[in-house]
Structure 1
Amino acid sequence: MPKSLFNHLKLSPNSLFMGILLAFVGGYLDAYTYITRDGVFATAQTGNTVLFAVRAASPEYSGAIQNVPPFLAFIAGVLVAEFIKDKLKPHYRAILILEFLILLLVGFLPTSIPNMIITMSIAFVSSLQIATFNKLGDWSYNSTITTGNLRTAAQASYAAFFSHDEESMRKFKSFAAIILFFIGGTLTGTFFSTTLGYFAIWIAAGIILVTVILYHRSSK
């Protein structure tokens, strides 16, 4: 890759380019776990909480237990991310490398491994990502859940289109891009999960590897 092109593609922790790649991975992993791993949302704990409550209130209440381990793994991921932040300066590349290694390993696990182990691993990866990469410039966002991003985009659109505020327009475009790439990741994850099965996880791992290679410390 020419040096000038590499410099142009460098990813900083809070850049839009980093955000859309991570949002794509977030959507991809949700589709992957839902299709291949017992219909569990490994990255969206709101969905798991709802499914837990619905199943707990149904005649087949024993099925609610499958939504608990990913929830606990998510909490563990946040704690590990905070530990890495405390011990490493900077810590962003270390988090990305850990994400990549876990996703890569998941693809090598035999089919005899219980689905719960896989969903817990991906929930752990998701929480690492959420706890570490949560800024687009000075704006907070989420790379694995769209509700907050959708609200922010809608709020920014009002000032952008009715008040013609340039900063709000940039904000609207940025969050619209995050949402669209999340949807694109979900569509792509659905396609590859249905065609490649468990091995589809390696595509998400490959995207994270790209972020490791292109990572740049600058926050501008």
Structure 2
Amino acid sequence: MSESAPLIALLCISGGFMDAYTYNCRDKVFSNAQTGNMVLMGQNFATLNFSAGFRYLIPVLAFAAGIFCSELLRKKYQNYERLHWRQIVVLLEALLLFFVGFLPQSYNMPAVVLASFVCAMQVQAFRKLNGYTYATTMCIGNLRIATDLLSNYAVHRDKKLLKKSLIYYGFILIFIIGAALGGVITLRFHEKAIWCSSVILLITFVIMFAEGE
């Protein structure tokens, strides 16, 4: 179930939503797009704007910490019988994002740190779609794979390659829809908009109980 299309679609919506939320509501910092944060960090450090530079550095470090913790959870709970270890990750994500919704603008940095941490846990825990590498919180790798598959289809005319390519493009579109929703809802509900991601992740948590079926 953790590699199923419905579950990946929900995670893509949540991933796009989180990036739009932190950018629009939390000091123009990305929670997912760490490449963008690194570019802005380097630019600010180069112009001696150190306070702004650190504003982009800290989420990058939080993202790295999220990957580290996600792997620790996998190693500790991968044989746990009551819950799949990925369910533990998703539940922790939902709880942390629910807490973020209570943080006012004066606590934007802790909010971004928690959101980046959550995004990293998600991208580390959910990396495949029907056996194929996939990321639910960023698009550059997915775009590369989708276009590579399309190129191979143009040469070999294998319809399976075309189908896989269109699936990747489809989930990129779903990510964009999630980002669009995140932008619109955040402008309306501000800090508490992130609770939408919490709800999506809780739905994902419940869906994963269907794995045995």
Among 172, 175, 178, the alignment partner of 2:168 is 175
Q: Alignment partner of 1:40: what SS? A: coil
Mapping 1:20-99, distance limit 5 Å:
20-89=9-78, 90-99=84-93
Alignment-derived partner of residue 132 in structure 2? 139
- On the 8 A contact 1:141/1:149 being kept in 2, the answer is yes
Q: Which residue number corresponds to residue 150 of structure 1?
A: 143
Greater shift, 34-43 or 17-26, is seen at 17-26
Q: Which runs of 5+ in 1 are unaligned?
A: 1-11
- Three-state SS of the structure 2 residue aligned to 1:108 is coil
- Is this contact kept in 1: 2:19–2:31, CA < 8 A? yes
Q: Separation in 1 of the partners of 2:141 and 2:13?
A: 16
Matched, 1:106 2:100: yes
Distance 1:71 1:112 in 2: 20
Q: Which runs of 5+ in 2 are unaligned?
A: 79-83
Match among 197, 205, 209 for residue 204 of structure 1? 197
Question: What is the percentage of aligned positions where both structures have the same residue?
Answer: 33
Q: Distance in 2 between matches of 1:122 and 1:136?
A: 23
Matched letter for residue 87 of structure 2: R
- Quick check: 2:89–2:122 contact (8 Å CA) kept in 1? yes
Aligned-partner SS, 2:101: helix
Shift of the alpha carbon at 1:159? 2.7
Which whole-Å CA distance do the structure 2 matches of 1:81 and 1:219 have between them? 23
Structure 2 length normalisation: TM-score?
0.92
Is the CA contact 2:77–2:85 (under 8 Å) kept in the aligned structure 1?
A: yes
Q: 2:81 maps to which residue?
A: none
Which amino acid is the alignment partner of residue 171 of structure 1?
Answer: K
Distance 2:105 2:142 in 1: 37
Q: How many residue pairs were aligned?
A: 208
Q: Which 10-residue stretch deviates more, 177-186 or 53-62?
A: 53-62
CA distance in 1, matches of 2:52, 2:101: 26
Show the 5 A alignment for 1:120-131. Answer: 120-131=113-124
The CA RMSD measured in Å over matched residues stands at 1.7
Stretches of 4+ moved more than 6 A in 1? none
After alignment, is 188-197 or 163-172 more displaced?
163-172
Partner Cα distance (1:184, 1:162) in 2: 31
Q: CA deviation at 1:138?
A: 1.6
1:14 corresponds, among 3, 10, 22, to 3
Letter paired with 1:24: I
State the distance in 1 between where 2:141 and 2:112 align: 23
1:49–1:112 CA distance, 2 compared to 1 (3 A): closer
Q: Deviations over 1:120-159 (max 9, x none)?
A: 0000000000110000112111111111111111111123
Cα distance change on mapping 1:80 and 1:59 into 2, 3 Å: closer
Query: Would you say the 8 A contact 1:29–1:122 is kept in 2?
Result: yes
Displacement of 1:209: 0.9
| Distance across 2 between alignment mates of 1:196 and 1:217 | 33
Distance 1:219 1:51, change over 3 A: farther
Contact 1:13/1:219 (<8 A) preserved: no
